[in-house]
Amino acid sequence: MRTLKFLLQKEFRQIFRDPSILRIIFIMPVIQLIVLPWAADYEIKNIKLAVIDHDRSDYSRSLTNKITASGYFILTDYTSSFEKTLGEIEHDKADIILEIPASFEKNLVKENESKLFMAVNAINGVKAGLGSSYLRSIIQDYNQEVRTEWIQFPRFSPETNIEVTNSNWFNPSMNYKVFMVPGILVLLLTMVGANLTAINIVKEKEIGTIEQINVTPVKKFHFILGKLIPFWMLGLLVFTIGFGIAWIVYGIYPAGSFLTIYLFAAVYLLAVLGLGLLISTYANNQQQAMLISFFLMMIFVLMGGLYTSIDSMPGWAQAITKANPVSYFIEVIRMVVLKGSGLADIKYQLLTVLGFAVLLNGWAVVNYHKRS
């Protein structure tokens, strides 16, 4: 126990003397949480729309007005030549072309129906998909308006209408920040945990002090605890700072209990620290450690359900996410923060992450040799 005390004392002294670690601890959460949620917004806005109006009628104009008034579209062009407008898409000046045929109003009034043509630049699939569906629903809406206008009151409409109303649970305003910020917090914790630990130990390898420790009677177990405990505490500190920012800047306050979140975070950190430790047993220098953790980080982020929903991934990719500790915490933190889930609801994830912690730390301990 006394050995551990000396190891911890040394570690904390070094941490608080290292300006770069302090910078990472305080500046990283601030930047990540203040900047990233604004960029990671799925709502598509500012879609550049070119309208080709061959009709130039009251109806075609009021449709165009309705579209631009929605706020999602910017009318970049209003012409009557398809060729010219297609050029706009080719030069990236327009994302969507809406073509209104010459007989739009006439057909609508006389034959009760009319056709529109939509051309979408699908290079950015998300923008194309969402943009065209926004446009479709605005046109649908317009359609309804036109119909209501024409219905003569006592008569019933010959067609039945199904109207769907919906309500968004747990995130009523569909605010992406409420969804993203907790996820980014998880990433922050993962980076602090894995990177700092790995780099710290590998640095001792580089300067040779680890060999000096290996030649002392210090037990492997004590040495590893001496590294894990400080970074475990540091991780929880960063997490707390992160939650503070989420609350102050975005007003995000967990619906569930902090106790549940911190319990999970504490266990999760053990897994992540184990990963850092494991990396350090394989890497011989800081560049290697950085590259390995950078590579893993990319996979963790893109396959962790932060940006894209895991449910929409193909089966094999979903299987990979099962081996990604980040995916469990992102799921849990969203459940607790947004839905107010309790310990019983996250039991499965907690046990899984605990399993990761045991596995990764065990592997690292086995792979750490005092003697080569």
Partner 1 sequence: MSTDRVITAEHLSKRFGSFTAVDAISFDVYRGEIFGFLGANGAGKTTAMRMLSGLSMPTSGKASVAGFDVYKENEKIKQNIGYMSQKFSLYEDLTVKENIRFYAGIYGKSNQFIKEKTAVVLDRLHLTAEGDKLVKSLPLGWKQKLAFSVAIFHEPKIVFLDEPTGGVDPVTRREFWNMIYQAANAGITIFVTTHYMDEAEYCNRVSIMVDGRIDALDTPQQLKKTYGVATMDDVFLKLARKAVRSAD
Using CB under 8 A as the criterion, which residues of the chain lie in contact with partner 1 when the complex forms? Answer: 2-3, 5-7, 9-10, 13-14, 17-18, 207-209, 211-218, 370-372
Question: What are the backbone dihedrals phi and psi of residue 78, each rounded to the nearest 5 degrees, phi first?
Answer: -140, 95
The count of other CB atoms within 10 Å of the CB of residue 149 is 7
Rounded to an integer, what is the distance from CA 219 to the centroid of its chain? 41
**264, 332 in Cβ contact below 8 A?**
yes
Give every CB contact of residue 323 below 8 A, 6+ residues apart in sequence: none
CB of 365 to partner 1, least distance (A): 16
How far apart CA 118 and CA 168 sit, in angstroms, is: 30
How far apart CA 314 and CA 40 sit, in angstroms, is: 23
For partner 1, the closer CB: 225 or 266: 225
Mind giving me the DSSP string for 318-343? HHHHTT-HHHHHHHHHHIIIII---T
CB of 310 to partner 1, least distance (A): 43
For partner 1, the closer CB: 91 or 371: 371
CB of 213 to partner 1, least distance (A): 7
For partner 1, the closer CB: 9 or 137: 9
Tokens of 27: 């500046």
Tokens of 237: 């500190």
For partner 1, the closer CB: 214 or 281: 214
Dihedral sign, Cα of residue 18, residue 23, residue 26, residue 32: negative
**277, 227 in Cβ contact below 8 A?**
yes
For partner 1, the closer CB: 6 or 170: 6
For partner 1, the closer CB: 143 or 214: 214
**179, 185 in Cβ contact below 8 A?**
no
| DSSP E strand boundaries for the chain | 47-53, 73-79, 96-100, 117-120
CB of 225 to partner 1, least distance (A): 13
For partner 1, the closer CB: 54 or 220: 220
CB of 353 to partner 1, least distance (A): 32
For partner 1, the closer CB: 10 or 136: 10
CB of 17 to partner 1, least distance (A): 5
CB of 211 to partner 1, least distance (A): 6
CB of 2 to partner 1, least distance (A): 7
**What is the CA angle 187-191-197, rounded to 5?**
150
Dihedral sign, Cα of residue 5, residue 265, residue 356, residue 292: negative
